[in-house]
Amino acid sequence: MSTVPRNDETAPIRTPAATTHARDVRVTWWYTAGSLVVFQLTTLFMWLLALLYREPPLPSAAAIALFVAGAAVSVAAGVLLLVRYRVEPVDDAEDHRAGVPWMLLGASAAAALALGVAVGSPLLAVTTAAYALCLVRWQGGIRFRLVLLLTVLILAVWFVEATRLNPDAYAGPVTSAAVFGALLVPITATSLWWWDVVRELDRARRAEGRLAAAQERLRLASDLHDLQGHHLQVIALQLELAEKMLARDPDAAADQVRAARGSVDEARRGTRDLAARFRGVPLPDELANAVDLLRAAGLRVRLDVAEDAAEAPADVLGPVVRECTTNVLKHGGGAEASLSLLRRDGAWVLSIGNDVRGETSPVGDGAGLAGIAARVGAIGGTMDATASGDRFVVTVAVPAGVLS
Amino acid sequence: MTGDRVIRVLIADDEDMIRTALAALLRLEDDLDVVGECRDGETAIAEAARLRPDVCLLDLEMPGLDGVDTAARILRTVPSRCVIVTRHARPGVLRRALGAGVDGFLPKSRPADDVAAVIREVAAGRRYVDPEIAADALSDERSPLTDRELDVLRAGARGETVAEIAAALHLSAGTVRNHVSSVLGKLGLASRQQATIHARERGWI
């Protein structure tokens, strides 16, 4: 069992908590989209109040129905536009639906017209249509100009409506409804701009991660090149020497060939250690993998892992899991196994048992358990292998809180 | 070794140099006889049915059927035992091999003496899993994805569109899209292709 001590430089790389970031970004989106929908609903509600509580004559049932229908279509189109806005590509080409969503904009425009007619206010029609226009991701530069234009337009319509068309109504609820309506456009534009900034930042974070990975890969490539280059050179020399000595001293030549095989083995081990730099999983995952393997091999397996087991010293206990799992697998024929990693009296206790007493195998059965006992002992732990009846249990206890 | 019986071995490996060298080395053992050599899984299945070897030594990485699939099909028809050799055990492959009933699994880098010893072990009814391969399998990254999310990735692994995945899994396109965005969120990736590659490299799909 090769357990390679890792120095700091080759410590396994832990990926950053990408999922937390992804969740934060998602929450930001729901917050942004949710506030926009709520703001639009509030605006429409204010207009409805203005419609219902204005001076007599009271609005006809048809006007109210028209208002409700227009409001429903406008909100629905707004939500769909928001959904579309979100799924538009970061860099996923598949979901890319290029162009402007004319259908949704058309529906919004019709709804805006209906609302305007129902209330008798061009301002409501214009703000509703403008809101929909702001929910489209326009190409660079267009959005700012569009928002500016729409704001000017809204202010102008408002001015005309309040002074010429309908001056009497602009007293009570209509004024606040108009204010809300006029604010809808700039608020929508800034919120979506804010969302784009968050998304850009998120993208930058991902790019940073990819860059780090690329740099690590480069470093690995250069390490690998050095390692292989060195060993290949040694092997070439050893073989050349063997070739020259073959006629004169066959025994010495054979020695050189054996040495070359040793070098090959060394190169292989070095390569493996380099690759191991990228491996290394938390102890609970390793145990779960062990259970998967043993179950695949047809054993009944019981697993019992403490909730905070990820804090157990993986570099000491990991090799134990590996050695014992390999042994259980190797001896085959067993019917059940049990693995547990629990915290007991300030110590981590790992225990792995199965129902077949291990006999030593002729191949590759190194100083497995003995080597582990030495490492465990070095950090003040204990290892215990007991066989009772046909049950074989290995128990390792290491003090909690050691970092070996 | 035991002397009373010769173990008949079939070797399947598409790399000719390695296969012929290994066969020559194994033939040097008194108690082993390499009765057949072939270069791919389909041939190995046919040869195994014809020769009925005691042990089939199968390379994992062969064109067409891989070693594990080949072993599974051989074991269904012939009372042989199968040993898989590999240059690089990809994640998840040991679990698959054990599930298929493979009895031995070792890296190609082992000397022929070791391979011979493993063949004897397996022929005697024992199992041998190389410690290096077991260690690799134990340090496989666990999949953070749910079964449904893996189904979606699997159904879209050949570049199928969302609509095709939805049809294959009897889901709505919206549900598929939700699964995909949840996968991307969990893995911190930007596209479904990347997620598929990520999952395949780790043996999740």
CATH number (domain holding residue B177)? 1.10.10.10
Same structural domain for residues B90 and B186? no
Contact call for B144 and A297, based on CB within 8 A: no
Same structural domain for residues B133 and B163? no
Put simply, whether A296 touches B (Cβ < 8 Å) is: yes
Whether A196 has a pLDDT exceeding 90, the answer reads no
Q: In what order do the strands lie in the sheet with A336-344?
A: A300-305, A336-344, A347-354, A391-399, A382-388
User: What angle (nearest 5°) sits at the alpha carbon of residue B191, between those of residues B188 and B195?
Assistant: 65
Same structural domain for residues B54 and B122? yes
What would the two tokens of residue B203 be? Answer: 């043996």
Q: Is A158 exposed, middle or buried (0-12, 13-18, 19+ CB in 10 A)?
A: buried
Mean pLDDT of B80-93: 88
Whether B201 has a pLDDT exceeding 90, the answer reads no
Q: Are strands B7-12 and B55-59 parallel, antiparallel or unpaired?
A: parallel
Whether A97 has a pLDDT exceeding 70, the answer reads no
Put simply, whether B35 touches A (Cβ < 8 Å) is: no
Candidate from B134, B144, B185 with C-beta closest to A329: B134
The confidence band for B187, taking pLDDT boundaries of 50, 70 and 90, is confident
Question: Domain end: B90, B105, B138, which one?
Answer: B138
B13 lies in a domain? yes
- φ, ψ of residue B35 in degrees (nearest 5): -90, -20
pLDDT in tens, A252-285: 999 999 999 999 999 988 888 887 766 678 888 8
Q: What's the CATH number where B44 sits?
A: 3.40.50.2300
Whether A179 has a pLDDT exceeding 80, the answer reads yes
Distance CA A358, CA A365 (A): 11
Same structural domain for residues B78 and B52? yes
Identify the pLDDT of residue A53. Answer: 77
Same structural domain for residues B133 and B153? no
B126 lies in a domain? yes
Q: Which of residues 86-105 of B touch A (CB under 8 A)?
A: 94-96, 98-99, 103
Same structural domain for residues B87 and B132? yes
B189 lies in a domain? yes
**pLDDT, greater one: A172 or A313:** A313
Contact call for A363 and B114, based on CB within 8 A: yes
Put simply, whether A259 touches B (Cβ < 8 Å) is: no
Query: Helix or strand or coil: residue B93?
Result: helix
pLDDT winner (highest mean) among A50-59, B6-15, B134-143: B6-15
Q: Name which of A106-110, A128-132, B78-82, B135-139 the model is least confident about.
A: B135-139
Q: Which of residues 93-152 of A touch B (CB under 8 A)?
A: 93-95
pLDDT in tens, A134-171: 888 877 678 888 888 999 999 898 888 888 766 666 66
Contact call for A94 and B162, based on CB within 8 A: yes
Burial A7-46, CB ≥16 within 10 A → b, else e: eeeeeeeeeeebeebbeebeebbeebbeebeebbeebbeb
Put simply, whether A357 touches B (Cβ < 8 Å) is: no
Same structural domain for residues B92 and B133? yes
Identify the pLDDT of residue B91. Answer: 76
- For chain B, the domain total comes to 2
Q: Which residues of A touch B130 (CB under 8 A)?
A: 364
Put simply, whether A6 touches B (Cβ < 8 Å) is: no
Identify the pLDDT of residue A165. Answer: 67
For chain A, list the domains and their CATH numbers.
Answer: 8-12+211-276 (1.20.5), 18-208 (no CATH), 283-399 (3.30.565.10)
Distance CA B42, CA B120 (A): 25
**pLDDT, greater one: A53 or A331:** A53
Whether B141 and B79 have beta carbons less than 8 Å apart is answered as no
B1 lies in a domain? no
Question: Domain end: B115, B138, B161, which one?
Answer: B138
B2 lies in a domain? no
The confidence band for A9, taking pLDDT boundaries of 50, 70 and 90, is very low
CA A299 to centroid of chain Cα atoms: 34
Same structural domain for residues B72 and B159? no
The confidence band for A220, taking pLDDT boundaries of 50, 70 and 90, is confident
Question: Domain end: B116, B138, B160, which one?
Answer: B138
Q: Which amino acid is at A392?
A: F
The confidence band for A17, taking pLDDT boundaries of 50, 70 and 90, is low
Could you tell me the residue range of the domain that residue B16 belongs to? 7-138
Whether A15 has a pLDDT exceeding 80, the answer reads no
Same structural domain for residues B134 and B151? no
Same structural domain for residues B27 and B110? yes
pLDDT in tens, A23-51: 788 888 899 999 999 999 999 998 888 88
Q: Which of A271, A278, A293, A320 to mutate to test the interface with B (most CBs of B within 10 A)?
A: A293
Under 8 Å CB-to-CB from B100, ≥6 apart: which residues? B68, B69, B71, B72, B75
Same structural domain for residues B109 and B195? no
What's chain A's average pLDDT?
81
The confidence band for A13, taking pLDDT boundaries of 50, 70 and 90, is very low
Same structural domain for residues B126 and B153? no
What would the two tokens of residue B101 be? Answer: 């009933």
Percent of chain A at pLDDT above 70? 83
B11 lies in a domain? yes
Q: Which of residues 154-183 of B touch A (CB under 8 A)?
A: 161-162, 177
Identify the pLDDT of residue A7. Answer: 38
Distance CA B40, CA A310 (A): 43
Put simply, whether B84 touches A (Cβ < 8 Å) is: no
Q: Which residue is closest to B105 within chain A, CA to CA?
A: A330
Distance CA A69, CA A392 (A): 75
